[in-house]
Amino acid sequence: MAKDNKKLVEQITSMEEDFTQWYTDVVKKAELMDYSSVKGCMIFRPYGYAIWENIQRDLDARFKATGHENVYMPMFIPESLLTKEKDHVEGFAPECAWVTVGGENRLSERLAVRPTSETLFCEHFKNIIHSYRDLPKLYNQWCSVVRWEKTTRPFLRTSEFLWQEGHTMHETAEDAQEETLRMLKVYEDFYLESLAIPAVTGQKTEKEKFAGAEATYTIEPMMHNGVALQGGTSHYFGDGFAKAFDISFTGRDNQVKYPHQTSWGVSTRMIGAIIMTHGDDNGLILPPAIAPIQVVIIPIAQHKEGVLDKAGELYDRLKAAGVRVKLDDDDTQSTGWKFSQYEMKGVPVRLEIGPKDMENNSCVLVSRVTREKRFVSLDDLEAEVNAMLKQVWSELCERARKNREEKTYVATTHEEFLDIAANKPGFIKAMWCGDSACEDQLKDQTGGVKSRCIPFVEDHLSDICVCCGKKAKHMVVWGRQY
C-alpha cells in the first residue's frame, strides 16, 4: 500500500521545486480540466465542473438574498453598441473576438463575442427604465465570456471562461455606491466562509480601475507562493454609461434624471485561487463548502463479512444528514491507492471502516489538512463528521492567514521596496503619492510589482511616497499578480 501511495504522489511536481508545474500537475492529475483543440479554450471535466457548480449555487443564494434576479443576455454585441462608451471599448479592444461572417454571408456589421456585458445591459435598461418606480434594477447573469488571451493557464488565463456578472441601476449615486461596496462585502464573506480564503480588500488606483468606471473595488487573496490573484471586482460607474446610452427616468420631483450604475463579477479564477492557496505536494485540498465529495468512505478488508453492509449503512446516514459523501467499494484498487487518490482530489475527510472498527462500534476519520486520525463512536457519527469538516475549514483559514501575514512586508524607502520586491515574494505595504508615473516606475524597476489596492484601513507608514519622495496620499498594498 505504501508503495502505491508513494508512486502516485511522485506524479506531482513539488511546489517548492516548480510552482507553475505543480499547479498544472494538480489540475491534470485531479482531473479538473483538459486542453482542447481550440487554443486558449479548456474542457471542464466533471470533478472541476462540480466545484464550479457548488461555487455557483452558494453565490447565487447570496445574490438572491440581497434582492438580485438572474437574467441572460446575448453573447454577441454589435460593434456600434460596444463603441458607445469610449473608455470601455478602448479597454477591451485588444482582447475582443469578432464575428464577421454568418453562414456564407459577410455581416454588414461586426459582432463582438461578449468580453463583458455592460453595453448589452445598458441597451436593455434604456427600454425598461422610465420612472423612479422602475428602480433599482438588480440583475445578475451567469455565462461565459471571451477575451483573447496571449497565454493559457487553466482557470487563470483562458480565452473563454465562466463567470457571473452583476449589473444594477439605481435612483441615486448614494444607492449605487452602497451597492458597489455591499457586493464587494458579499465576495469577501464568500471567500472567507466558503473558500476559507482571507483576502485584502480595497479600492483600485485610477490606473488599475475598470475601463469606464468611476471607481473599482477589489478582493485580493494571496497564493501560497506570495503572488496575488485578483479574486473579484465591484465597479461604480456613476451615470457615465447612462448618458452614453441615453438611459433616463422621471424622478420624484418630476425632473428627468440619469440612473447610476454598478457592475461586479467573479469567475472560475476562484478555482485557481483554491488550488494555489490550499493545495500541497499531494494535490488539492478543498474547503468543505465547495467540495464535490466532503467525505469519502473507504472500506477496510471489504471482502470480509459485513464490512460493505456497514459502509453502506454509514453512507446512508451521512447522505441523510446532508453530507456530500461517496462510498468507494471498488475491489480492483488497493486501499493505499484509494487513500492517495482522494488525497490528491482534495476530499476534506476520509472515513475508514473495517472489521476491528465494527467490533468497537467505531470508525476512523482522517483530516485531509493535518492527516490527523480520530477514532469516533458510530453513535456520534454525524456530529463527529460535521466537527471535522468545520475543523478543516478553520485550519485552512488559519494557514492562509498565516501565509499572508508572513509574506507581507513594509517598505518605507525606495531601496527597501526594490530589495523586498527582488528577494521576498509577497505583498508590500508602502506609501504612495497618487501619481500613476510612480506606479509605472515601480512596475518597471521590479519587473512586474503593481499596486493591488488601497486598503479600506490604511497604516500610516511615513509621510512620503516610496517612489518619488513627495508627500504621500495613501498606503498601497503592492505585489505581483496572476
Q: How much is the average pLDDT of 37-55?
A: 96
- Domain formed by 408-479, architecture: 2-Layer Sandwich (3.30)
Q: What whole-number distance in Å separates Cα of residue 208 and Cα of residue 213?
A: 10
CATH of 293-390, one of 3.30.70.141, 3.90.580.10, 3.40.50.800, 3.30.1780.10: 3.40.50.800
CA neighbor of 222 nearest in space, from 3, 478, 427, 16? 427
Tens digit of each residue's pLDDT (9 = 90 or more) over 359-371 = 999 999 999 999 9
Sign of CA dihedral 86, 89, 93, 99: negative
Q: What whole-number distance in Å separates Cα of residue 328 and Cα of residue 420?
A: 48
Q: Which three cell numbers stand for residue 310?
A: 456497514
Strand 137-146 and strand 76-78: the pairing is unpaired
Q: How much is the average pLDDT of 403-415?
A: 98
Tens digit of each residue's pLDDT (9 = 90 or more) over 242-275 = 999 999 999 999 999 999 999 999 999 999 999 9
Q: What is the pLDDT of residue 8?
A: 47
* Residue appearing with cell numbers 461604480: 236
The amino acid present at 367, given as its one-letter code, is S
For the cut 60, the answer to whether the pLDDT of residue 2 exceeds it is no
Lowest mean pLDDT among 50-59, 88-97, 131-140, 275-284: 88-97
In the three-class reduction of DSSP (H, G, I as helix; E, B as strand; rest coil), residue 8 is classed as: helix
Q: What is the pLDDT of residue 21?
A: 96
Q: For 46-103, where are the alpha helices, taking DSSP H only?
A: 46-65, 79-82, 86-92
Q: What is the DSSP string of 252-305?
A: TTS-EE--EEEEEEEETHHHHHHHHHH-BTTB----GGG-S-SEEEEESSTTST
**For the chain, what are the domain ranges?**
15-278, 293-390, 408-479
Percent of the chain with pLDDT over 90: 93
The pTM for the full model equals 0.94
User: What is the CATH T-level fold of the domain 15-278, as seen in this structure?
Assistant: BirA Bifunctional Protein; domain 2 (3.30.930)
